[in-house]
Amino acid sequence: MSNKLITPKQEPMGAAAISDMMRAAQQQIRDRQQELNFTAPPISAAQQRLAELQARIAKQTGHLLPIPPIDEKPVHVTIDREGRTIDSLTGEVLQLPNRIPTLKANLRVQKKDVKQEQPKQKAVKEVVTEYPGIDASAKYHDGRLLVRPAVRSRREFKFVDKGKYEDLANKQRAKEKLKKLQDQIAQTAKNAGITVGNKVGIIQPKKFFSESEVPDIEWWDAVILQRDNYSAITPDAKIAPILTGITQLIEHPTQLKPPSEPTKPVLLPIHLTKREQRKLRRQHRAEALKEQQEKIRLGLIPAPEPKVKISNMMRVLCSENVQDPTKVEQYVRDQMAQRIRTHEETNAARKLSAEQRREKKTKRAREDTTTGVHAAVYRVRYLDDPSHRFKIETNCKQLHMTGCVVTWKDVNIIVVEGGPKQQKSFRRLLLHRIKWNASSKNRMDDDANESEKERNKCVLLWEGMVKERSFGEIKFKACPTDNFAREHFRRHGVEHYWDIGHNDTILEASND
């Protein structure tokens, strides 16, 4: 059997019964008010609407709603001679709240005064309160949920460590001293005529050690030992557990391809001998002839006419030759002329035009410089001969190389950029083919200048690979001063080219 209690079903009340019940309740309220000598205020529209709503709900549900308790408040109030508020019915003295409107600024001052009057607490205790607005007796209320109000931590005063500003001053003095030394070196080099391209790096050590001071532990060992001294290392101690970051595993770094290596694999060309070339040609011709015979056998193409020559004319055209020998001979000669004409037309169609030949030659001269550009720097003492200038410019354009030629007194720098084969040809031009003293000697008038011109030569200062080209088509640039030439190279981002050539000229002059 079920443990549930069986209650009789309550029948819904009718509208007449509900009306009688409401009238009885209202009569009861009026009687109570007459006993208390209470004059009810007029019923407002909102209260009347609320009563109608309660009656409608009771009609639908069949249950009478509980009548809310009447808030009994004193209505008849009098003031005595002392100015107190007294209830006229009960004679009790009423305490009315004193509400004085004021500004926000005055309220802040009052709160500040109240806080100053309270004694200062040495420690802030942790206050744990429940969430506001939650009824502790609710069905789904969890009393374990607590909230901690935000507490501002006290900020303490921090003193500056001893020697902090002294260290900053020492570093500043060392920096100024290094800068002064660098300026002296630059001034000395300028007076001597040597251009210093790279400046001394500014190094600021973290700590200044004297020569006699020995550190407790070296910095490279401190990273591994994680200690301030070597006291942990003894003859009986095991070194392996002490070391940090050292294991038996071997770390292999990722293998990266160099930037100059081509992305596609380089295939080596196959060189055949003459005998292999003839054999390969015979095989190709046999395959083509076999394919043509198959097409003739299938009727796709007509059979070619017999190849007739003067030597085989009697054997091929024996019957026609007996009947009309002159006509047969003329036919054979026409066929021979047609074969020659077809051969010449085929060669002419296969022959490249002038523009195509030029493009083919240019393609062979150009080289792929996507993976890196080969650059070379040359120095010539005297470059006033027009023939030398013409050879340099013409060969550079024919080889499709880029670069520039900067001339200043006896420092003439030639910079060329291109591929390895182009550099090889241009290097042979400057170092072997051009006779730097031959043409100059014919133009000399006095023996003094002739002896100086005889020492004219070209020197390869540097060659290597760079990432990209720095110059365009080769051009000659005459510079009036040293700074003007340096500025020209600096605009192209290769100022060190001029430093190499200028310093080499000064060293050569000092050796002489």
Is pLDDT above 50 for 122? no
More confident residue, 451 or 347: 347
More confident residue, 210 or 5: 210
Q: For residues 489 and 380, state if they share a domain.
A: yes
- The answer to whether the CB of 413 falls within 8 A of the CB of 406 is yes
Of 234, 213, 232, 212, the C-alpha closest to 222 is 232
Does residue 413 lie within any of the structural domains? yes
Does residue 261 lie within any of the structural domains? no
Q: For residues 398 and 449, state if they share a domain.
A: yes
State how far the alpha carbon of 460 is from the alpha carbons of 396, 438, 463, 498, in Å.
Answer: 16, 20, 8, 13
Determine what percent of the chain is predicted with pLDDT higher than 90.
31
Q: How confident is the model at residue 34 (pLDDT cuts 50, 70, 90)?
A: confident
Q: What is the mean pLDDT of the chain?
A: 78
Is pLDDT above 80 for 38? no
DSSP class of residue 464 equals E
Q: For residues 495 and 432, state if they share a domain.
A: yes
User: Given 229, 247, 265, which residue is the final one in a domain?
Assistant: 247
What contacts 285, CB < 8 A, 6 or more positions away? none
What contacts 450, CB < 8 A, 6 or more positions away? 441, 444
Rounded to the nearest angstrom, the gap between the alpha carbon of residue 173 and the centroid of all alpha carbons in its chain is: 38
Lowest mean pLDDT among 74-78, 475-479, 480-484: 74-78
Is pLDDT above 50 for 174? yes
Q: How confident is the model at residue 299 (pLDDT cuts 50, 70, 90)?
A: very high
Which pLDDT belongs to residue 320? 66
Q: 30 is in which domain, residue-wise?
A: 15-91
More confident residue, 487 or 206: 487
Is pLDDT above 50 for 354? yes
Q: How far apart are CA 379 and CA 408, in angstroms?
A: 11
- The answer to whether the CB of 227 falls within 8 A of the CB of 243 is no
Does residue 57 lie within any of the structural domains? yes
State how far the alpha carbon of 229 is from the alpha carbons of 219, 237, 243, in Å.
Answer: 10, 15, 13
Q: How confident is the model at residue 54 (pLDDT cuts 50, 70, 90)?
A: confident
Lowest mean pLDDT among 101-115, 118-132, 161-175: 118-132
Could you give the dihedral angle defined by the CA atoms of residues 161, 162, 163 and 166, in that order, rounded to the nearest 10 degrees?
90
Over residues 265-288, the pLDDT tens digits come to 888 888 999 999 999 999 999 999
Determine what percent of the chain is predicted with pLDDT higher than 70.
73
Q: For residues 381 and 484, state if they share a domain.
A: yes
Rounded to the nearest angstrom, the gap between the alpha carbon of residue 148 and the centroid of all alpha carbons in its chain is: 45
Which pLDDT belongs to residue 438? 75
Q: For residues 498 and 377, state if they share a domain.
A: yes
Does residue 53 lie within any of the structural domains? yes
Of 426, 429, 410, the C-alpha closest to 418 is 426
Q: For residues 295 and 378, state if they share a domain.
A: no
Is pLDDT above 60 for 442? no
Does residue 46 lie within any of the structural domains? yes
Q: For residues 415 and 459, state if they share a domain.
A: yes
Q: For residues 398 and 487, state if they share a domain.
A: yes
User: Given 289, 304, 319, which residue is the final one in a domain?
Assistant: 304
Pairing assessment for the beta strands 476-478 and 402-408 based on DSSP bridges? parallel
Does residue 469 lie within any of the structural domains? yes
Q: How far apart are CA 397 and CA 55, in angstroms?
A: 110
User: Given 230, 247, 264, which residue is the final one in a domain?
Assistant: 247
Mean of the pLDDT values across residues 214-218? Answer: 85
DSSP string, 185-211: HHHHHHHHT----SPPP----SS---S
Domain of 492: which CATH number?
Answer: 3.30.70.100
Does residue 136 lie within any of the structural domains? no
Q: For residues 380 and 478, state if they share a domain.
A: yes
More confident residue, 383 or 323: 383
Which pLDDT belongs to residue 244? 74
Q: For residues 290 and 411, state if they share a domain.
A: no
Does residue 429 lie within any of the structural domains? yes
Which pLDDT belongs to residue 155? 79
Is pLDDT above 50 for 202? no
Considering the entire predicted model, what is its pTM?
0.44
Mean of the pLDDT values across residues 375-382? Answer: 94
- The answer to whether the CB of 202 falls within 8 A of the CB of 178 is yes
Q: How confident is the model at residue 512 (pLDDT cuts 50, 70, 90)?
A: low
Which pLDDT belongs to residue 364? 84
Which pLDDT belongs to residue 450? 56
Q: How confident is the model at residue 60 (pLDDT cuts 50, 70, 90)?
A: low
More confident residue, 386 or 509: 386
Mean of the pLDDT values across residues 401-406? Answer: 95
Lowest mean pLDDT among 220-224, 334-338, 396-400, 484-488: 220-224
Is pLDDT above 90 for 347? yes
Q: For residues 437 and 395, state if they share a domain.
A: yes
Other C-beta atoms lying within 10 Å of the C-beta of residue 306: 9
Which pLDDT belongs to residue 396? 94
Over residues 75-91, the pLDDT tens digits come to 567 777 777 877 777 77
User: Backbone dihedral region of 323: left (phi > 0), alpha (psi from -120 to 50 degrees) or beta?
Assistant: alpha
Q: For residues 396 and 502, state if they share a domain.
A: yes
Burial of residue 37, with CB atoms counted within 10 A of its CB: 0-12 exposed, 13-18 middle, 19 or more buried? exposed
Which pLDDT belongs to residue 293? 95
Q: How far apart are CA 492 and CA 404, in angstroms?
A: 11
Over residues 95-119, the pLDDT tens digits come to 776 666 567 777 777 777 776 666 5
Is pLDDT above 80 for 349? yes
- 490 CB-side CA count, 13 A: 8
Residue recorded with tokens 């909102």 = 46
Which pLDDT belongs to residue 497? 94
More confident residue, 478 or 266: 478
- The answer to whether the CB of 399 falls within 8 A of the CB of 365 is yes
Q: How many domains does the chain have?
A: 4
Q: How confident is the model at residue 292 (pLDDT cuts 50, 70, 90)?
A: very high
State how far the alpha carbon of 263 is from the alpha carbons of 258, 307, 370, 420, 467, in Å.
Answer: 10, 54, 10, 18, 16
Over residues 305-343, the pLDDT tens digits come to 888 888 887 777 776 666 777 888 888 899 999 999 999
